[in-house]
Amino acid sequence: MPSASLFLYLDARDRALFTRWVVTDQATPRLRHFWRGMTHLGGATATITLSTIPIALGGTYRTAAIHALWILVMSHLVVQLVKRSVGRPRPSLGVMSHTWIDEPDKFSFPSGHAAAAMSVALAYAMAFPSLAVLLLGVAAIVGVSRVCLGVHYPGDVVIGQLIAIVTGAAVFAA
């Protein structure tokens, strides 16, 4: 299968999965509120706060926060470079007419919220292994929220999370 055909196939599968996950007009206000709340955990306010404030606590919290900040900054740079290079439009520009939350920019691929949530979760999961499943699970749910709210395709989320994981591996290897 030539690479162009592979990308078309993956795009079609991504769009089909999106239409199954996105929250419809029939969804309850409570469900929409839940997804909005979860998505904010991957936003700048939450991730920057979780990556800076614990530095003042010292010890393991300080180390984890410094790692989180490095992973967050480095993964964000990669995400923004890829977003502007690929230029994939958001679902609201082709698949659906509206979203359930404001879009931060016009580019869909990869998801910055998914990368940010995974960046912070990964750093704290490494520092506190007993919380790893919970932290990484919350990061995964943040990614799902981006699809449910109509601002990203599932593939955008997966690649955003992979960027965070690869960046985290580089930070921990250094």
Mean pLDDT confidence for 15-22: 83
| CATH code, domain carrying 105 | 1.20.144.10
pLDDT confidence tier of residue 8, bands split at 50, 70 and 90? confident
Mean pLDDT confidence for 66-80: 97
Q: How far apart are CA 145 and CA 92, in angstroms?
A: 15
Range of the domain at 143: 3-173
Higher per-residue confidence, 102 vs 166: 166
Is the pTM value of this prediction over 0.75?
Answer: yes
- Look at the chain and report how many structural domains it folds into: 1
Q: How far apart are CA 42 and CA 111, in angstroms?
A: 10
pLDDT confidence tier of residue 149, bands split at 50, 70 and 90? very high
Active-site residue set: 113, 152
Neighbours of 153 (CB within 10 A): 30
